[in-house]
Chain A
Amino acid sequence: MADMNQASDGAAVILAVAAGEEGALHQLYQAQASRLFGIAMGILRDRDAAADALHDTMLKVSARAAQFDPTRGEAGAWLTGIIRHAALDLARARGREVPTDNPMLGDSLVHPEALERIAAAQQSARLRDCLAALETRNREGIVLAFVHGFSHAQIAARLELPLGTVKAWIRRGLIRLKGCLS
């Protein structure tokens, strides 16, 4: 119930931004900034870069709020998509395709088994269960990519697997996830 109220409030604020209502964007920022900044930090692990990603996200939201269609998805998911792509673009620009054994990289990673943090909403619980049903390394690869913006090369280095194997494993994991969720 709380989830639903939150979702419709989010949609209302984005529609207010689209309508050019004074203060609507700031209201949205206050409600979402910590969550979105956390998502960008997961991918970039650098506060300056994550701030750039959030900055660009708010500019995009301001320009494209009219594109948001509440009948096709939830407001929080729409914002999540925008900041993830903004952060991934920055990660790519910073050369993430280059394999690295930088020990710092492992410092602040989410433990892939910390699945209970995925919200308890019905859709989320299904994803959590389906992720839990995957082979450990499949799941680790998918979480490292989605939450931490790891490239195939970085996942391969971290899991100590050949690059080709990692690509194939992740694809297989995605196919299993889709089957499990359908």
Chain B
Amino acid sequence: MIPSDPEELDLLAAEHVLGTLDARQTEEVRRALPVNAVLRAAVEAWEARLVPMAGLALPEAPPPELWGRIETSLAARVPAAVRPLRRERFWKIWSVGATVVAAGLAAFLVFRPAEPPRMMTVLLTGSEQPAWLVEAEGGGLRLASLNARPVEAGRVQQLWALPPGATAPVSLGLIPAGASRANVAPGLVQPQAGMLIEITLEPPGGSPTGRPTGPILFIGRLARAGQS
């Protein structure tokens, strides 16, 4: 339960940042953060207040082989803290996503053999689960939900693209509630390899600032099929 009393809520945010909440309470706070702007603001303010204390920890060189391990994982995108348990599950989920990708690719090979290499990506959740398949299509983008899930009440999902080298993402519009497919018309954005595609949680009508204001729900990077 996230308290509605402002002082209690502020103390919960403080304890979350301090790190004294247990796993269950922490999970509650993390689940509430995307949908509770007051809590989010309180947590950000406490992060800013307490972060200088991190200077009390003495710097220490990590094991020299760690960067190599990070690079290997980046290539495979397997979370490490949960290595032994999750790896099998990850590949199971991944194989479902990959099958969908393969199915899309097969359709492409059958029906449109003459086009240049297709670009696609699978948008992943924060826990690395496939959520949307995105394919570049005739200068626009085509999205298909792989694992539909409800959006928190009173919020919308907004689609963004960040071309390589750009510093600010471009809004591609809102994803209609409950939609399992969506299209982005050609002209809004020029799909290119390396482009980040993300979906954020935003207030009704979309981000008021023209930049993402809510948390990233799903994210992926466009790559030429067969090359990534």
A13 at the interface (CB under 8 A from B): no
Q: Pick the contact of B58 from A38, A86, A150 — CB < 8 Å?
A: A38
**Is residue B215 within 8 Å, beta carbon to beta carbon, of the partner chain?**
yes
A-facing mask of B34-54, CB < 8 A → 1, else 0?
Answer: 000000000010011111111
Interface residues of B in 79-109 (CB under 8 A from A): 79-81
CB pair B22–A177 under 8 Å, yes or no, is no
- Known A-B contacts A84-B54, A118-B53; A145 and B20 likewise in contact (beta carbons under 8 Å): yes
Number of interface residues of B (CB under 8 A): 54
The residues of B that contact A123 with a CB separation of less than 8 Å are 48, 52
CA gap between A15 and B216 in the complex, in Å = 16
Is there contact, CB below 8 Å, between B19 and A29? no
B73 in complex: contacting residue of A15, A43, A59, CB < 8 Å: A59
The A contact surface, by secondary structure, is helix
- Name which of B48, B73, B198, B219 has the most chain A CB atoms within 10 A of its CB: B48
- Report B162 CB to chain A, min CB distance, Å: 6
**Which among B48, B52, B215 has the greatest number of chain A C-beta atoms within 10 A?**
B52
Q: How far is the CB of B167 from chain A (nearest CB, A)?
A: 5
> In the complex the two chains form, what is the Cα distance from A142 to B164 in whole Å?
42
Contact A20 B81 (CB under 8 A): no
Nearest A residue to B13, CB-CB: A174
Binding site secondary structure of chain B = mixed
**A44-98, CB < 8 A from B:** 47, 50-56, 58-59, 62-64, 66-67, 69, 72-73, 77, 80-81, 84, 86, 88-90, 92-93, 97
Total contacts A to B, CB within 8 angstroms?
182
Which of A38, A77, A86 lies at the interface centre, i.e. has the most chain B CB atoms within 10 A of its CB?
A38
Contact B57 A42 (CB under 8 A): yes
State the Cβ distance, B119 to closest chain A Cβ, in Å. 14
Interface size class of A (residues with CB under 8 A): 35 or more
Residue B116 lies at the interface, judged by CB distance under 8 Å to chain A: no
CB-defined contacts of A66 to chain B, threshold 8 Å = 162, 169, 196, 198, 212, 216, 219
Q: Pick the contact of B54 from A58, A147, A170, A177 — CB < 8 Å?
A: A147
Does A119 make an interface contact (CB < 8 A)? yes
Distance between Cα atoms of A62 and B196 in the complex (Å) = 11
A89: B residues at CB distance < 8 A: 23, 26, 81
Instruction: Name the segment of B64-72, B132-140, B144-152, B178-186 touching the other chain.
Output: B64-72
**Residues of chain A at the chain B interface (Cβ within 8 Å):** 15, 18-21, 25-26, 29, 33-35, 37-39, 41-43, 47, 50-56, 58-59, 62-64, 66-67, 69, 72-73, 77, 80-81, 84, 86, 88-90, 92-93, 97, 110, 114-115, 117-119, 121, 123-124, 127-128, 131, 142-143, 145-147, 149-152, 155, 167, 170-171, 174-175, 177-178, 181
- Excluding A63-B219, A81-B47, 7 further A-B contacts by CB distance (< 8 Å) are A18-B162, A33-B67, A41-B58, A59-B70, A66-B162, A128-B52, A146-B18
